[in-house]
Structure 1
């Protein structure tokens, strides 16, 4: 484990001032980098700690913002923000590109060695970066909306991993099958992990917000999903010894 430094970064996207969290490993050399997208309520300490954990492994990591610095505790407010976003791939791509530009501009980032992972809405955003043809080394998602505009998956240039809960009402079997068909038709190196008994947002510990049906924390699968992401990154974006 390595010593890290962190800092807040403000940047414009989607008509808002986004507030990202950058985590850097010790040293001055260029390192592989990971973009981290948060779920619909926004960027909170959970995702900031994920960036810190990746920096401790030796990656440059940027947890990006999607809500202009806001964390929504009211599901209705959150849905009013993210539902139109999730139906507009171009807006999602704009948010993703703005964050990616910040990560690439960091002097510690190796611009040829960048992966993107995301949770929920953030996962949908990083998948749209892939469908937009961005040169990434890996795309990983948890609890994300997985399907996109027909044919655009053919532009994905890297392996894709997706993790979903078997009982997630937002990603039922038909949607999982549609994702598999989309990736397979596009010739993508893809994999899908289904965590048995898990609901939507199974990865996120309980927080002070209203609980809605179909959402619930599953600590065992949360740990497994994180380990799966670490293994996926180690395969596709290894840290040189």
Structure 2
């Protein structure tokens, strides 16, 4: 009996040592590096040819949420494409969309204002262009068509909010340095969770419009967050803001801290929603 007990003890020690060795030699699989692929796409509404840019991590195999990004009033430019790349790095498939047609861009605020006004005063066409972009996003193999969000900057933020208020099938919407006096105010058709990040010193956004917006959101029980950054001006996420402000004598200014904090708030919302 004593010999048997000794044998069992020895076997247990050997087995335990072998398991420990195995665990020590086993290596965790290396995380797959992010490899962002960006590609230009052409699409169209019934009346307008449109040019967009899609970005995604081609090393990621599973389907993921899709995010539409609506440009500032300057038009579809490198800035909005950079944001698409940034979202792709986070694991989303993003499309920088075109609301003006043919990738048209403005070089002067007067032209930018005219382009933006032509979109916001023709909501049926605005919806058609937005929906055309959403459709091409949903056609991407990498996209989970049940998980779609939209974000926008300046004019683009107003577009994203307006589309959400019109009943667009969006799970989340974020607007940065965006007007909130919208052609379609918040109403029961709103399905999305909403984030608005604005500068407290932005003269383009009146206190009255903020009050009207938040009152309307509260009245329908919307899930939203309105963040106002003290001392921050318009266009605070764009590193071109200071140069444009000086060139055109406009109250624009980049703010690195507000830019970072607003991006972190976006990431938090998307993570919670998806």
1:222–1:188 distance in 2 versus 1, CA, 3 Å: same
Q: Note the C-alpha offset of 1:45.
A: 1.6
Q: Note the C-alpha offset of 1:8.
A: 0.2
Q: Which residue of 1 aligns with 2:70?
A: 37
Between structure 1 and structure 2, the one with the greater Rg is 2
Give CA-to-partner distance per residue, 1:1-38, whole Å, 9 cap, x none. 62121100111248432211100112343211111111
Mapping for residues 1-241 of structure 1, pairs under 5 Å = 2-13=34-45, 15-25=47-57, 26-67=59-100, 68-149=102-183, 153-206=187-240, 209=244, 210-237=247-274
1:78–1:14 distance in 2 versus 1, CA, 3 Å: farther
For CA contacts below 8 A with separation 6 or more, give which structure has more relative contact order.
Answer: 1
CA distance in 1, matches of 2:258, 2:269: 16
Count of residue pairs the alignment pairs up: 237
Conservation of the 8 A alpha-carbon contact between 2:64 and 2:142: yes
Q: Note the C-alpha offset of 1:149.
A: 4.7
CA distance in 1, matches of 2:85, 2:132: 21
Q: Note the C-alpha offset of 1:55.
A: 0.9
CA distance in 2, matches of 1:95, 1:152: 21
Moved over 4 A (4+): 149-152
Q: TM-score, normalised by structure 1?
A: 0.90
Q: Which runs of 5 or more residues in structure 1 are unaligned?
A: none
Q: Note the C-alpha offset of 1:147.
A: 3.2
User: SS at 1:205's partner residue?
Assistant: coil
CA distance in 2, matches of 1:131, 1:111: 20
More deviation in 78-87 or 158-167?
78-87
Output the aligned Cα RMSD: 2.0
1:152–1:218 distance in 2 versus 1, CA, 3 Å: closer
- Looking at secondary structure, tell me which structure has more helix per residue: 2
More deviation in 131-140 or 79-88?
79-88
Conservation of the 8 A alpha-carbon contact between 2:162 and 2:183: no
Conservation of the 8 A alpha-carbon contact between 1:132 and 1:156: yes
Q: TM-score, normalised by structure 2?
A: 0.80
